[in-house]
Amino acid sequence: MNARVNVALFVASAAVVGVGMLRAAGRLPVFGSHLTSYARVENAAAPSERRTPNVPTAITFDYRGFDTLGEEFILFAAVAGAARILDRWRERGRAHHLIEGEPHDVPPDSGDAVRAMALLFGVGTVFLGVSVVGHGYLTPGSGFQGGVVISAGWFLIYLGFGARPFRRLTANEPTDIVEAAGAAAYVFVGIGGILAGSAFLANVLPLGAYGSLLSTGTIAVINAAVGIEVAAGFIALYAHTLDVARTERLRPPGVRR
Amino acid sequence: MMVLIAICLILAAASGTAVVLTREPVHQTIILGGYGLVLSVLFLLLQAPDVALSQAAVGGVALPVLILLTLGKLWREARRRHRRAAIADERSHGS
């Protein structure tokens, strides 16, 4: 098929799909006018039952907490799988070494200004992320969002200082332990629900006052656990990918001579 | 509000098209970051700040980092193979 047939085919199908979408969009209710029954129930229940103004967080960590457990382990398994695959580049004995001092490793003109700005913004971003995680059930954002922001701030250290200081701050063992601890904490909170005589992941801790940091029972604990796990998981991902980019191999894994 | 949402949707369509039409990988990564930013603003306008935060963090940091590190690795491998082939060429022609 040559290019003109392709373009003609695209224009024809785009016209059909476009007309259909415009007609469908015309029949949509005005944005925000039609609340589903579930939305109405949640808006009424979450602030009063769970003492949290952040209804999505209450849904993800309490009402649908089991689904979020599965999602968190998707992230956990993805990072573990990627780390395993990327580690094969470093495992095979003699034929590899880390490249030091190449232009790729440290930004060429990394002067004091770059390092100062990286430190300022990196630490600031980490604090912003900790704030997003800590206020997860009070303000928008929760464990996941705050965790990604923390990992982004941490990665700024690499951009300013180079790979070796960054890898010293994110050694494989501690990062993996922290990530696993965050994932395990979620499960243990769930088991705590069973031990307290209720269901798995039931909210059994005292609920506290609406709008204060000590509120919402288990949501606060799960929120912190998810924040830690996501931050450590993303940092591990960056660290392993960075290692592969820095490693010289004479032969890629799986190729036999 | 609806006008803002409409404008943001049009911007999302435009930046999505821009991502597809950019051919150079590094440039495409930057444009992808811009597209992620437009999506984040769209989610904020649609009153989903949690999703907007996720999109901003992942689309602005995680995705470009992974793409650029992989590109760097691929180019280094290509450069090394190129250099090795050039040296092998020299040896076979010089002898």
- Contact list, B57 vs chain A (CB under 8 Å): 145, 148-149, 152
ipTM: 0.84
**How far, in Å, CA of A12 to CA of A8, rounded?**
6
Q: Produce one character per residue of A38-49: b if its CB has 16 or more CB atoms within 10 Å, e if not.
A: eeeebeeebbee
Q: How far is A85 from chain B (nearest CA, A)?
A: 14
> Does the CB of B57 have a partner CB in chain A at under 8 Å?
yes
| φ and ψ of A164, to 5 deg | -65, -50
> Does the CB of B20 have a partner CB in chain A at under 8 Å?
no
Encode pLDDT of B21-72 as tens digits: 999 999 999 999 999 999 999 999 998 899 999 999 999 989 999 999 888 8
Mutate to test the interface with B, among A64, A90, A148 (most CBs of B within 10 A): A148
Residue in A with minimal Cα distance to B51: A141
Q: What is the pTM of this model?
A: 0.84
Encode pLDDT of A213-245 as tens digits: 777 788 889 999 999 999 999 999 999 888 887
Mean pLDDT to the nearest integer, A112-118: 88
Encode pLDDT of A20-59 as tens digits: 999 998 888 887 788 888 888 888 888 888 888 888 888 8
Whole-number pLDDT of residue B95: 59
Q: Produce one character per residue of B7-29: b if its CB has 16 or more CB atoms within 10 Å, e if not.
A: ebeebeeebeeebeeeeeeeebb
CB hemisphere CA count around A118 (13 angstroms): 18
Whole-number pLDDT of residue A97: 56
pLDDT band at A98 (very low <50, low <70, confident <90, very high): low
Mean pLDDT to the nearest integer, A187-209: 85
**How far, in Å, CA of A125 to CA of A127, rounded?**
5
Percent of chain A with pLDDT over 70: 87
In the chain, the amino acid numbered A162 is: G
Encode pLDDT of A126-163 as tens digits: 999 999 999 988 888 888 999 999 999 999 888 888 87
Contacts of A192 (CB under 8 A, 6+ apart): A204, A218
Cβ–Cβ of A145/B66 closer than 8 Å? no
Whole-number pLDDT of residue A227: 95
Whole-number pLDDT of residue A173: 87
